Amino acid sequence: MDRTKDVASGFNPADLQKYVQDVKFPVSKDDLLTQVQGKGAPGDVVDKIRNSDMSEFNGPQDVMSAVQGS
């Protein structure tokens, strides 16, 4: 299985880096949403972050977990 692409959404996780590269971690969910939306993150990525159980993200790996649903 190709792990470079989330088959369900068609999102390439490697693209996540460009949406979180300037984020100062730890960051609240609301602040993260504001920042990734401002960088043009796709709606499905924004929705997965919004619907995540996490209220604070400690680094890009937390964002990736939320986006991948793990």
Predicted pLDDT at 3 = 46
Return per-residue pLDDT of the chain as tens, 70 residues: 444 444 445 667 778 999 999 999 999 999 999 999 999 999 999 999 999 999 999 999 999 999 987 5
Eight-state DSSP code of residue 52: S
Where do the DSSP E strands lie in 1-70?
A: 27-28, 56-57
Predicted pLDDT at 5 = 47
Predicted pLDDT at 59 = 96
CB 69 within 8 Å of CB 13: no
Predicted pLDDT at 14 = 79
Predicted pLDDT at 63 = 95
Q: How far is residue 64 CA from its own chain's centroid? A: 5
Place of tokens 């995540």: 52
